[in-house]
Amino acid sequence: MKSSRHPSPVDSNVVDTQAVDAKAETNRPPTSWPRPWWIAVAVALGLVVLSVVSRDGGGVNLLNALVRLTNFVVIPGISYGCQLALGALGVTLIYAVMRFSDFAHADTMAFGAMGVILVTRVLQGMGISAGPLPTALLALPFGILGAVTLALVFDRAVYRFYRRQRAAPVTFVIASIGAMFATNGLVRLIIGPGDQRFADGARFIVRVQAFKEMTGLSEGLALKTTQVITLVVAVIVVLGLFFFLNRTPLGKAMRAYADNEDLALLSGINPERVALWTWIIAATLATIAGTLYGLDKSFKPFTYFQLLLPIFASAIVGGIGKPLGAIVGGFVVAFSEIAFTYPYRTILGYLGFETDSLAQLLSTDYKFAVCFIILVVVLIWRPRGIFQGRVT
């Protein structure tokens, strides 16, 4: 292991925590679920399935329950999870490279999405469309350009100053809160605080009616174009990002800088260049996430501002600073939010448990509480997240 001698007090404290982290990381035994749990869960599920199927029309009821669950929990969970994951990736990258939590990230999403909406309107006015796909996809590069410009302006005007001062992370956090309010105000000034819908093209890939006719089930299933686009775009972006980080010299340099700033300097890696590309990538991810979210639901500056909490929760749950963790965290948070606030009455009805209550664990008003609960639980029992991110 590392030298056990005490490092001189002049060594920067960032370096010290890393040494401790590295030690903890290598010594930690691999964690795994205790097997009996799995068996118990499997048996319970099997019993439920058996009891449902054994009744009259039980098989169909089970299918109906599954379809309803897919329609209202699984599909929305996947697309919301992708959106959160893309947002959390940006937060986690900024944290890994610049060592602070960027509070302005959700508003960068709004700013990027706003650019996309404005260009979409122009394109629509010129009669340009992407056929069955939303026009917003054509406008995406312009939105990205806008968000990257904004991020770089903030970097030059604000963050670079503190970087040169080697300011404490908390200073950066406070500065980013300022950037958050500034961006938020800018967005509301330009596009207004109201709701904007900008999805066009084909709305559905599978319609409820068509699904019912096709399968003969009483429960319908809808698959929106935006949900599929979200998944496809997210997969492409994540693959691209991982290729960049693991295969290209610049991506490796970014990881190296995140790992050990001082040694990166001794290898001739230019911190300003790393910072520049981190902002470019984070703003790109933010714009894509914001556009997908807006297409899927709708665009409203205040809603985006509120996305900050689930995005931070995702990044922290997964282990902040770990890109893979941000993705897993995004899905954990998205599915928890939806699963805890969905009323299960109809599904329980199909399974033979008639009830008068909504069978909803929490009202949808409390979906932020779900984020907080996840955060608290993770910070108590696994403070460095699922993938053991860094803690400063």
Partner 1 sequence: MPDPFLIGEAVTCGYGDTNILHGCTISVEKGQIAVIVGPNGAGKSTAMKAAFGLLPLRGGAVRLGGQDISRLTPPDRVAAGMGFVPQTNNVFPSLTVRENLEMGAYLCPQNIEGRIEQLAQLFPILKECSRQSAGELSGGQRQQVAVARAMMTQPQVLMLDEPTAGVSPILVQELFAKIQEIAAAGIAVLIVEQNARQALSFAHKGFVLVQGKNRFTGTGQDLLDNPDVRQSFLGG
Q: Which residues bind partner 1 (CB under 8 A)?
A: 1-5, 7-8, 10-11, 15, 18-19, 22, 25-26, 249, 252-253, 255-256, 259-260, 262-270
Instruction: Please report the sign of the dihedral spanned by the C-alpha atoms of residue 166, residue 86, residue 143, residue 195.
Output: negative
What is the maximal distance between C-alpha atoms in the chain? 76
Count of C-beta atoms within a 10 Å radius of residue 63: 16
Q: How far is the CB of 13 from partner 1 (least distance, A)?
A: 12
Closer residue to partner 1, CB minimum distance, 209 or 267: 267
Q: How far is the CB of 29 from partner 1 (least distance, A)?
A: 14
CB-based contact 285:234 (threshold 8 Å) = no
Closer residue to partner 1, CB minimum distance, 127 or 249: 249
Closest CA to 368 of 296, 326, 297, 309: 309
Q: How far is the CB of 12 from partner 1 (least distance, A)?
A: 10
Closer residue to partner 1, CB minimum distance, 18 or 225: 18
Closer residue to partner 1, CB minimum distance, 95 or 304: 95
CB-based contact 196:187 (threshold 8 Å) = no
Q: How far is the CB of 236 from partner 1 (least distance, A)?
A: 25
Closer residue to partner 1, CB minimum distance, 39 or 263: 263
Query: Using CA atoms, how far apart are residues 70 and 223, in angstroms rounded to an integer?
Result: 10
Query: Using CA atoms, how far apart are residues 330 and 345, in angstroms rounded to an integer?
Result: 27
Closer residue to partner 1, CB minimum distance, 7 or 132: 7
Q: How far is the CB of 222 from partner 1 (least distance, A)?
A: 43
* 136-143, Cβ contacts within 8 angstroms, sequence gap of 24 or more: 136/198, 136/199, 136/200, 136/291, 136/294, 136/295, 137/229, 139/115, 140/116, 140/287, 140/288, 140/291, 142/115, 142/116, 143/112, 143/113, 143/114, 143/115, 143/116, 143/117, 143/119, 143/287, 143/290, 143/291
Instruction: Kindly give the interhelix angle for 271-296 and 225-247, rounded to the nearest 10 degrees.
Output: 170
Closer residue to partner 1, CB minimum distance, 15 or 376: 15
Q: How far is the CB of 93 from partner 1 (least distance, A)?
A: 14
Q: How far is the CB of 31 from partner 1 (least distance, A)?
A: 17
Closer residue to partner 1, CB minimum distance, 6 or 35: 6
Q: How far is the CB of 16 from partner 1 (least distance, A)?
A: 8
Q: How far is the CB of 91 from partner 1 (least distance, A)?
A: 19
